[in-house]
Structure 1
Amino acid sequence: MNRHPTVLRSFALNTPLAEILSAALLVASLAWAVLRPAGRSEAFVAVPAAVVAVGLGAISPGHALAEAERLGPVVGFLAAVLVLAHLCDVEGLFTACGAWMARRAAGRPRRLLTAVFVLASVITAVLSLDATVVLLTPVVFATAARMGVRSKPHVYACAHLSNTASLLLPVSNLTNLLAFTASGLSFTRFAALMALPWLVAVSLEYAVFRRFFADDLPAEPSDAVSDAVSDAGPAPELPLFALVTVGCTLAGFVVASALGIEPAWAALAGALVMAGRALARRRVTPVAVVRSAAPGFLAFVLALGIVVRAVVDNGLAEALRHALPDGSGLLALLGAAAVAAVLANLINNLPAVLVLVPLAAPAGTGAVLAVLLGVNIGPNLTYAGSLATLLWRRVVQERAEHVEVGEFTRLGLLTVPVTLGAAVVALWASLQVV
């Protein structure tokens, strides 16, 4: 079946009422996800919105089913990775990471920032951005408090790297999986093309952070910090079982890609191995394992995909088709990335990639990956740019920390244009070589 939304559009949907209805349902779904009153699930509005879109004819049942089938493997992969990351935390992986950061920093805030950048980049790439936001951010808070240093630069790094550092692997981000499916690349070729943009973007982020937070990053530790470091207890043991399982899961992704198998199966195998061990040792309960998969969020992703498809079917695709530049030259790639970054900050990066990837696919792999750069790096500009940033803000607020919108935006204005532009140039160079 041709999956291009403009080809599949039903003539019955080409009415102003259908356009207004689908747009209103998307705005309502995203607004609820941003605000999330009383801690209710993001799916609380998105699922009914999808039902209304189908029931009132904004999208046909056939198109809704096709979208759900397209997103099914992606959602299954996301569930498995969330479980895998949670069980790595149960095994003590993130506690060990906190101890490593503290010892690597030796009481010096600048060294701590370097350690956070290294760990957050690796964890985001391997275990996905959700692990960095939900599991690493609290560890960074605790490490900074134990060292007696200001937490802001290090916690902000978790937010930015949950987006920027998710460029490397197809499994690092939900947006990557969607782009990976459309790109036609193998797992290893995707990683090879994105390695240089990933390295360039993370390095530039680090340089900007060092300058932006210079007052919070003194070169030498205070006496209180030195005393805290000297009082640190013995380092926890490294959870070898978790590390070996994650390594084998990554190898499974490569093998699965070579055999044409969905990466969700490799992720599921890793999650089952970790869950079997944790359940046998009674470290978790079956209910806890199911909850770690975030079923409400998974339902939100599926429902949002259907609502976005309704918006696309009713005119958005035509409008954006003219905004996206043609071709795969450097200027075209820069333009595609810029459009993607702007759209991600307007409607969130997940809907943006659902809309733009099918439109960019005919222009080739370079255009798809340029869109991916835009929807992954661009959200560092505003809170609403990505679900990961919204989740990070909630984690920070739960610890009674104040995050200023103005400061977050100023930092984004300094990082996003330079990192996005340089990453696109690096992608263009990779496309010439790889």
Structure 2
Amino acid sequence: MTLAIIGGVLWLLGIVALAVGILPGDEALAVADRVWPILLFVVAVTIVAELASKAGLFDVVAARLARLARGRTMWLWVLVLALATVATAFLSLDTTAVLLTPVVVAMAVTRKLDPLPFAFVTVVLANTASLVLPVSNLTNLLASDALGGHDPIAFLTLLGPSALIAIAVSVAVLTSVFLRKLPRTYPDATAPAVADPVLLRVSAVVTVALLPLLVIGLEPWMPALAAAVVLIVVFAWRAPRALGIRLVPWSLLVFAGGLFLAVGALEAVGIGRVTSVLAGSGDDLVSLWQLAGVGALAANGINNLPAYLAMESVAGSPVRLAALLIGVNAGPIVTPWASLATLLWHDRLVAAGVRVRWSRFVLIGAVIAPLILVLAVLPLAAG
């Protein structure tokens, strides 16, 4: 609700800027033309993930991983790390934060393991692993648009080494902090009940088929929308009560739409002059560190999406744009409000009855973020 209220205020500010001529009409139309495919993808992939979750897909996958680890906590830890990384890369950071978090928490609780370490895996990797593909983060989709197309191979070529470093740093820190505190083994648990095996199988097939379709160069909204339509039709047949208006992430849509409009108005009045001074220029290592660092500070100060939008125009080159993404994707894990995924993650933990101290989140993020900013930028300068 808070997100929707903020979004509504941003919409009002943008409309006022449009009405008084601060934001020209043609620029507002250009913003809308750029934004609608991204927001359509967000809606479609959210519906796919929500319906797959309702079918029990994530619960079954988590249970299979626990069985595959054969009672050894270390291997379960590795498998959950891998699951969070894959979910983030292909289905976006919000899917990992919102849908995977309660699944891994329930999996840990039923096996008498502390759920908090596994919850930290989902929130940290939801942010830091979101550098992998264009569909992993809204900022990536915006950057892909600025780079001239949604080519996942080109995106991986540019950011793949940096993404690998971000994931490796996250895994190393999380493992050193949490794994030693967990017992070496855990008891087995009964498999989760599946209400409708048909829905489960269809959801699994659709989700597995969607993953490669998101990385073959199509506009991401196309396969995501097709997958959403298929699942909606099947659920209308098998479980119509699962369908509803709440499947659409309205709060996120209102917030993102208002944010795009408001930032467009700020750019029209010359915010780029301020950000260009802060972000500097040049493709050398120090300049890239400066850009990534300013992006991370802005993201932790306000939020990563407005931070990216405000600084995109001063990135200036593919390498600088990649440095900015490192800052606004992997950097916003220090303050709770820096990433929408983090706020959504906390809501899910509260609903699951798991307490997390924000001081602990800040401390872990303050270790991981600087390491990533320093190390993940190195491949950009070397290239």
TM-score (norm. length: structure 1) = 0.80
Larger-gyration structure (1/2): 1
Q: 1-side partners of 2:279 and 2:192: how far apart?
A: 55
Are 1:87 and 2:48 an aligned pair?
A: no
TM-score (norm. length: structure 2) = 0.90
Matching residue of 2:140:
176
Once the two structures are TM-superposed, the CA of residue 365 in structure 1 deviates from its matched residue by: 1.0
Q: How does 1:78-117 map to 2 (within 5 A)?
A: 78-117=42-81
Q: 2:181 aligns with which of 216, 229, 235?
A: 216
Tell me the SS of whatever aligns to 1:318.
helix
- Percentage of matched positions with identical amino acids: 35
Q: Deviations over 1:198-242 (max 9, x none)?
A: 222112111111222255324x23xxx43xx1x534897895533
Q: 2-side partners of 1:116 and 1:373: how far apart?
A: 23
Matching residue of 2:280:
325
Matching residue of 1:63:
27
Could you tell me which amino acid in structure 1 is paired with residue 80 of structure 2?
A: V
Matching residue of 2:230:
273
Q: 1-side partners of 2:334 and 2:378: how far apart?
A: 20
Q: Which runs of 5+ in 1 are unaligned?
A: 1-30, 34-39
Q: Deviations over 1:357-410 (max 9, x none)?
A: 2221x3x21111111111100111111111111111111122232221211111
Cα pair 2:88 2:126 within 8 Å, conserved: yes
Cα distance change of structure 1 residues 332 and 184 upon mapping to structure 2, 3 Å threshold: farther
Tell me the SS of whatever aligns to 2:269.
helix
Cα pair 2:54 2:242 within 8 Å, conserved: no
Q: 2-side partners of 1:247 and 1:95: how far apart?
A: 15
Q: 2:190 aligns with which of 232, 240, 243?
A: 232
Q: 2:220 aligns with which of 260, 263, 266?
A: 263
Matching residue of 1:246:
207
Once the two structures are TM-superposed, the CA of residue 80 in structure 1 deviates from its matched residue by: 1.0
Cα distance change of structure 1 residues 315 and 152 upon mapping to structure 2, 3 Å threshold: same
Q: 2-side partners of 1:247 and 1:109: how far apart?
A: 27
Matching residue of 2:333:
380
Matching residue of 1:131:
95
Q: 1-side partners of 2:203 and 2:26: how far apart?
A: 42
Q: 2-side partners of 1:210 and 1:252: how far apart?
A: 32
Cα distance change of structure 1 residues 53 and 404 upon mapping to structure 2, 3 Å threshold: farther
Q: 1-side partners of 2:61 and 2:300: how far apart?
A: 32
Q: Which runs of 5+ in 2 are unaligned?
A: none
Q: 2:122 aligns with which of 144, 158, 182?
A: 158
Once the two structures are TM-superposed, the CA of residue 87 in structure 1 deviates from its matched residue by: 2.0
Q: Deviations over 1:401-425 (max 9, x none)?
A: 2221211111011111112222222
Count matched residues. Answer: 379
Once the two structures are TM-superposed, the CA of residue 70 in structure 1 deviates from its matched residue by: 1.8
Q: How does 1:178-197 map to 2 (within 5 A)?
A: 178-184=142-148, 186-197=151-162
Cα pair 2:11 2:261 within 8 Å, conserved: no
Q: 1:344 aligns with which of 291, 299, 316?
A: 299
Cα pair 2:90 2:135 within 8 Å, conserved: yes
Q: 2-side partners of 1:149 and 1:374: how far apart?
A: 33
Q: Deviations over 1:329-352 (max 9, x none)?
A: 333222221111111111200111
Q: 2-side partners of 1:154 and 1:90: how far apart?
A: 21
